[in-house]
A and B are shown apart, each in its own frame.
Chain A
């Protein structure tokens, strides 16, 4: 994991913000009707390497350090990294909110060292 982190830092690793909705309010009809907007919290992930994906227009691939992900999973009480990414509202990259499409882990000896997160640019920003 340390080697992967060092490699990512050397390859221009940066930080991104993972935007997570806070838990809903029990029995709140306003949220169910779309009247109330949930609050969000941003957590920092880094080092992260951002790559363009040739196959998908407006799609980016983030290689995220497993060290950073495991720290966030532990501190927020998520059951796993897959749950963390599945419940995330998106990733903030240079003030642009990107939708999380998928997240897979790369592992060695059963221990993940990096997460490959595919994100999609909002349709309005695709050129």
Chain B
């Protein structure tokens, strides 16, 4: 399951970075592409603005087939306050731009990737099956003060290979 989560995140991160290289964020003093996995960061980290924050929520395993089929729900949270120089009046446009980037990245063909196992210090090893995902489903935009935020959901599927964590 962890390999599927890592593969999906890396694929989505790279696609988003290709679509909009200017969408970056600073985490612990380092500038990096504007997407992160919440559970991979320090618990003290706050949600970045104008960036995508992935949270792994639901999990279902169908063990009837030869290889168990794992279905995971990935929530993508993002928010914007607009540009201060515009008085925040462009926050709707900025949220729409993030909607479009996420939709393009997730719905872009192929909606699958070869599953990889990421190992500390040695890069990644390609595994024998793929990770698949469906179209992105957008939740309603929520307003919290000047902040406009949304949670979108993507269903990610993968086969659990023998001996895989």
In the complex, what's the smallest C-beta–C-beta distance from A79 to chain B, in angstroms?
12
B118 and A30 contacting across the interface, CB-CB below 8 Å: yes
For the complex of A and B, 3 pairs with smallest distance between CB atoms: A34-B40, A23-B29, A24-B30
Give me the interface of B with A, judged by CB distance under 8 Å: 6, 9-10, 13, 27-32, 36-37, 39-44, 46, 118-121
B30 and A25 contacting across the interface, CB-CB below 8 Å: yes
Number of interface residues of A (CB under 8 A): 23
Residues of A within 8 A of B42 (CB): 21, 38, 89
Give me the interface of A with B, judged by CB distance under 8 Å: 21-27, 29-36, 38, 86-90, 99-100
Q: How far is the CA of A19 from the CA of B112 in the complex (A)?
A: 41
A30 and B120 contacting across the interface, CB-CB below 8 Å: yes
B120 and A35 contacting across the interface, CB-CB below 8 Å: yes
In the complex, what's the smallest C-beta–C-beta distance from A20 to chain B, in angstroms?
9
Most B-side CB within 10 Å, residue of A22, A31, A99: A31
B28 and A32 contacting across the interface, CB-CB below 8 Å: no
B28 and A36 contacting across the interface, CB-CB below 8 Å: no
Q: How far is the CA of A34 from the CA of B57 in the complex (A)?
A: 17
Q: How far is the CA of A9 from the CA of B108 in the complex (A)?
A: 62
